[in-house]
Amino acid sequence: MRYPRDLLGHGPSSRIAWPGEARIAVQFVVNYEEGGENCVLHGDAASEAFLSEIVGAQAWPGQRHWNMESIYEYGARAGFWRLHRLFSERQVPVTVYGVATALKRSPAQVAAMQEAGWEIASHGLKWIEHKDFDIERERAEIAEAIRLHTIVTGERPRGWYSGRCSANTLDLVAETGGFDYVSDSYADDLPYWHEHAGRHQLVIPYTLDANDMRFATAQGFNSGDQFFSYLKDSFDVLYAEGAAGSPKMMSIGLHCRLVGRPGRAAALARFLDYVKGHEKVWLARRIDIARYWTETYPFQPNENRPSRLSEETFVDRFGGVFEHSSWIAKRAFAGELSPATDTATGLHAALTAVFREASEEERLAVLKAHPDLAGKLAEAKRLTESSTEEQASAGLDAVTDHERERFRALNSAYVEKFGFPFIMAVKGRSKDEILAAFETRIDNDRETEFDSACRQVERIALLRLRDMLPD
């Protein structure tokens, strides 16, 4: 069974590079939703109830909510122009998430966006909830959003963000095609590639934490100082990571009716000035980041990843990781494979879980499947390829007559006492270290040594996987 969520991502240290050796890419989004929100004038069943100054707002079925409407109108009439001045005066590039119906109702604002060189990405047809849409209805809404956006702006949108999306949104946008990126994800500090139905789509994750929406949510920002402090701390951490060789991206989400209020706009202005006071900062639109990423880190198809293999191929490739015990690979395949198991560490965890869950008799059979060290099978050159390489790396293929006799005596005594061969992950060890461990462990009781042997089997499996897969 394949688990579709990717909980690994770029891993512990993503060694990417931004243009000009920038330590951080900073991206500002202005959400333009005013005139596209839920409203009975727009044919919706009820008024808007999301992201306003009204504490505990509720939708009013079949009625206009005058206060809600006027709060949204503030964003278009006053907040937008305040943000437009702040960014234009500082020459900071902006991406707009534009709701198509909102853009259509605001031609002056659209013209100002275009004159400033702002990117206008699609924020859907209307600023409404999509979680209960069936696939065909949402597909039709996406198509209509693209059509209307193109008419209003003169250009097809190259970026997409629904925001109030469904579980199908990302896949539907990928199916639609023609988008340089989609941002309906909060999964990372860097872009990544999403695959669906034979297509690949760049995802540039967005943010809900470095976002002025928290002025309108419980336990959010109460003052501009809190907003500024949070943005500054976020920037400082990411900037330091970039200075240490692991650059990231910082997204800041803004709304005309929220941060466009004077007391909050002051905090945004301070943050803009703070960012511009640092060197090696790439201020970019999302489309710029998308195009750079696509050119520099293009999609790399890899159907040989463990989670993508057929059962037959998977077992053939990994069935020998635990010596002569392909049943472990079969059970792991029948379990849960995902992108997290496509690395040596991840696949080792999956295989090891099967081994640890097995009965004592099954684990004993795995121990017995291992050859003696410097034993008869080695002399007869009948070891598996992996065992041959491992024993050779420790010099066990070139023992003296005296060492051979010592290994034979210890092997015989060990098997007689415990009922399974002495097992040790010998890669990188010397003959003296191996003999010393042999002579120490042979004095253990059976329970202790059974556990030690199992741990060594797991260690051998990990070393083998590291030769087969990246980590």
| 370: annotated active-site residue | yes
Q: What are phi and psi of 101, to 5 degrees?
A: -70, -30
Name residue, tokens 């004077």: 262
Tokens (6 digits) for 24: 């951080």
Cα 330 to Cα 341: distance, rounded to the nearest angstrom: 15
Side-chain-facing half-sphere of 28: CA atoms under 13 Å: 24
Element (H, E) at 171: helix 169-176
Q: Which of 130, 149, 348, 370 is catalytic?
A: 370
CA 244 to chain centre: 21
CB 359 within 8 A of CB 312: no
SS3 156: coil
Q: Left, alpha or beta for 378 (phi > 0: left; psi -120 to 50: alpha)?
A: alpha
Q: What are phi and psi of 189, to 5 degrees?
A: -100, 5
If you compute the radius of gyration of the chain from its CA atoms, what whole number of angstroms results? 30
SS3 413: helix
Tokens (6 digits) for 77: 């009439």
> Which CA distances in Å does 168 have to 139, 172, 276, 320, 459?
9, 6, 38, 39, 41
Burial (CB < 10 A; 0-12, 13-18, 19+), residue 139, is middle
Number of H helices, E strands in the chain: 18, 9
Catalytic (active-site) positions: 370
